[in-house]
């Protein structure tokens, strides 16, 4: 993938096409603003030493978006207030994912520090939903798009009509809502909101990255994955299942994957949200640790 410029908005592709654990970054020429510094470490070092980085913006707190934040310890950064706590302490970070099993935490703690260069940070300012910032080169509107995380933010750059959607990435995997404070309903509402932003270019953090025409049917296909996950769960629960058995069914990932300490928490987190939602709607029931229709 190649870097692309849309007015002052520069798309910087991540390694391996921005697939996890990497993501695409965005740089605002002239203003020195870097969004989600996890694309390519050497490229970001060159950017810092060349054009310069004056501020770092984070769309949200996940590790694949802060991997190279340590390069910018001396530079102010912004994030939403709802997403700031995980960046203050590695234990709070793991709490935000809902890691309760110490074995899982023992796996993730060194991973976060060694691979993702995690260091406790406090933001210099918080984004506010709907605020418009008149930068030197572009006007940007902050759009609060919760669901993926409680404070996930998207950014609409008005003059080039570029919409940066962060992790609402329109990939075939579908939306992620597996954190402790993620929300299926907020995810759906945020995607619907993004559909109606009057953009000409759509940028996401993973895989395809740049859409130069309206994503069209991709919006509905992306949302449809949520419904397919629910339908598969309801089919599975025709026979009562424990939460461990639901996780082992691999509805999200399709098959067992290693390392289990990584993939099982994603499976459990996302399917746990579906179980909570269906229980709240009285679509399923729970007895003796088993869920069923």
The tokens of 52 are what? Answer: 């310069």
Contact 272, 256 (CB under 8 A): no
Architecture of the domain spanning 227-292: Orthogonal Bundle (1.10)
pLDDT grade for 262, boundaries at 50, 70 and 90: confident
List, for residues 172-226, the tens digit of each pLDDT value.
999 999 999 999 999 999 999 999 999 999 999 999 999 999 999 999 999 999 9
The overall pTM is greater than 0.85: yes
List, for residues 280-292, the tens digit of each pLDDT value.
999 999 999 999 9
For the chain, the structural domain boundaries read 4-215, 227-292
SS3 263: helix
CATH fold, domain 4-215, is Metallo-beta-lactamase; Chain A (3.60.15)
List, for residues 115-137, the tens digit of each pLDDT value.
999 999 999 999 999 999 999 99
pLDDT, averaged across the chain: 97
pLDDT grade for 260, boundaries at 50, 70 and 90: confident
Q: Do domains 4-215 and 227-292 have the same CATH topology?
A: no
| DSSP string over 106-167 | HHHHHHHHHTS-------SEEE-TT-EEE-SS-EEEEEE--SSSTT-EEEEETTTTEEE-TT
Which DSSP letter does residue 14 get?
P
* Number of CB atoms found within 10 A of residue 250's CB: 16
Helices and strands (H and E) in the chain: how many: 7, 15
Q: Provide, rounded to the nearest whole percent, the portion of the chain with pLDDT above 90.
A: 96
Question: Within 13 Å and on the Cβ side, how many CA atoms surround 227?
Answer: 6
pLDDT of amino acid 120? 97
């Amino acid at each position: 993938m190649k870097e692309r410029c849309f007015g002052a908005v520069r798309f910087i592709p991540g390694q391996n096409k921005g697939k996890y654990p990497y993501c695409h970054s965005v740089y605002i020429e002239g203003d020195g603003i870097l969004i989600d510094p996890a694309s390519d470490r050497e490229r970001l070092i060159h950017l810092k030493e060349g054009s310069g980085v004056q501020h770092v913006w984070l769309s949200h707190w996940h590790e694949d978006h802060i991997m190279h934040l340590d390069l910018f310890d001396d530079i102010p950064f912004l994030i939403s207030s709802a997403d700031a706590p995980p960046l203050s302490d590695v234990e709070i970070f793991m709490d935000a994912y809902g890691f309760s099993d110490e074995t899982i935490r023992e796996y993730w703690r060194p991973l976060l520090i060694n691979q993702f260069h995690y260091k406790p940070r406090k933001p210099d300012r918080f984004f506010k939903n709907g605020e418009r910032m008149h930068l030197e080169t572009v006007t940007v509107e902050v759009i609060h798009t919760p669901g993926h995380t409680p404070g996930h933010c998207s950014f609409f750059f008005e003059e080039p009509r570029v919409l940066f959607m962060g992790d609402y990435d329109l990939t075939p995997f579908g939306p992620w809502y597996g954190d402790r404070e993620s929300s299926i309903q907020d995810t759906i509402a945020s995607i619907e909101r993004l559909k109606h932003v009057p953009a000409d270019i759509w940028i996401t953090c993973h895989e395809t990255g740049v859409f130069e025409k309206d994503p069209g049917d991709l919006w509905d296909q992306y949302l449809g994955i949520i419904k397919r996950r629910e339908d598969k769960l309801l089919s599975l629960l025709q026979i009562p299942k424990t939460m461990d058995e639901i996780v082992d069914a691999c509805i999200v990932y399709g098959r067992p994957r290693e390392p289990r300490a990584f993939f099982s928490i994603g499976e459990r987190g996302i399917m746990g949200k579906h179980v909570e939602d269906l229980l709240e709607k009285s679509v399923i029931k729970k007895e003796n640790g088993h869920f069923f229709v």
